[in-house]
Amino acid sequence: MTAALTLENVDCFYGNVQVLRGFSLELMQGEVLCLLGRNGAGKTTALKAIMGLVPPRSGRIMLGETDLTRLTAHQVPQAGVAYVPQGRRLFAELTVAENIEIGLMTRKKGKATRESVLDLFPVLRERLKQRSGTLSGGEQQMLAMARALCLEPQVLLLDEPTEGLMPSMIARIRETVAALRERGVSTILVEQRVDAVLPVADRVAFIENGQNRDTLDVERLRADPDLVHRYVGVG
């Protein structure tokens, strides 16, 4: 298996405060890698480092042969990395259709992409003219994912997509991640609750205080759920 994305010894700071400490990660082609850790562990910062939003002070982040740390935050999505931030961040005043249009523009994708993305989220097709700020929480999460998928990304970064959603919506998000894996997309899924990810993850990487802890195959966690408590304290 080849790696779709690698982080090597990444150090990130906010001002003088170091948050990522020699953090490394390897996302294999077509896998769902879950990044798990407590509040403040550095999960969101790791995703922002990949996106060029918090440029690493040292270390390398490679997308295939491309060194992402040499790109601007504007260029990273164009290189094929899509990011759904924590808390969704849609353009609330814009309609569903307009939000999707913005996603398509990033990598100049057209109607075929739009249709295939809407096929993944039929509920959005019924609401194209609705202002996105008036969608339900679950619908907003789907729109945020749809907009990201309009890039036809090789790599998708999802930051706590199930936060605040009811179980049926969580299941929907999981199904979508699984469907994307079928299409060959490699995904980093940030979560705090392990039960939200166990059914869909291939491997789980633990982060603590900006540093790597173990990375485990999901089968090992299924066999021994207590392992999770050791790393994140809660189930």
Ligand X SMILES: Nc1ncnc2c1ncn2[C@@H]1O[C@H](COP(=O)(O)OP(=O)(O)OP(=O)(O)O)[C@@H](O)[C@H]1O
Q: In the complex, which residues of this chain contact ligand X (CB under 6 A)?
A: 14, 19, 37, 39-45, 86, 192
Which residue's Cβ has the minimum distance to Mg ion? Answer: 44
Instruction: State the binding partner of 49 from ligand X, Mg ion, none, CB within 5 to 8 A by kind.
Output: none
Instruction: State the binding partner of 41 from Mg ion, ligand X, none, CB within 5 to 8 A by kind.
Output: ligand X
Stretch that binds Mg ion, among 39-47, 53-61, 98-106, 128-136 (CB under 5 A): 39-47
In angstroms, give the least distance from the CB of 157 to Mg ion.
12
108-167 residues near Mg ion, rule: CB under 5 A: none
In angstroms, give the least distance from the CB of 12 to ligand X.
9
Map residues 44-73 to x or -, x wherever contact with Mg ion holds by CB under 5 A.
x-----------------------------
3-state secondary structure the chain: CCEEEEEEEEEEEECCEEEEEEEEEEEECCCEEEEECCCCCCHHHHHHHHCCCCCCCEEEEEECCEEHHHCCCCHHHHCCEEEECCCCCCCCCCEHHHHHHHHHHHCCCCHHHHHHHHHHCHHHHCCCCCEHHHCCHHHHHHHHHHHHHCCCCCEEEEECCCCCCCHHHHHHHHHHHHHHHHCCCEEEEEECCHHHCCCCCCEEEEEECCEEEEEEEHHHHHHCCHHHHHHHCCC
- Nearer to Mg ion by Cβ, of 16 and 39: the residue is 39
Instruction: State the binding partner of 32 from ligand X, Mg ion, none, CB within 5 to 8 A by kind.
Output: none
Q: Nearest Cα to 7, choosing from 37, 16, 54?
A: 54
- Nearer to ligand X by Cβ, of 31 and 160: the residue is 160
Stretch that binds Mg ion, among 13-21, 35-43, 52-60, 206-214 (CB under 5 A): 35-43
Q: Counting contacts by CB under 5 A, is residue 176 touching Mg ion?
A: no
The one-letter code for the residue type at 45 is T
- Nearer to ligand X by Cβ, of 66 and 86: the residue is 86
Binding positions for Mg ion, rule: CB under 5 A: 43-44, 86
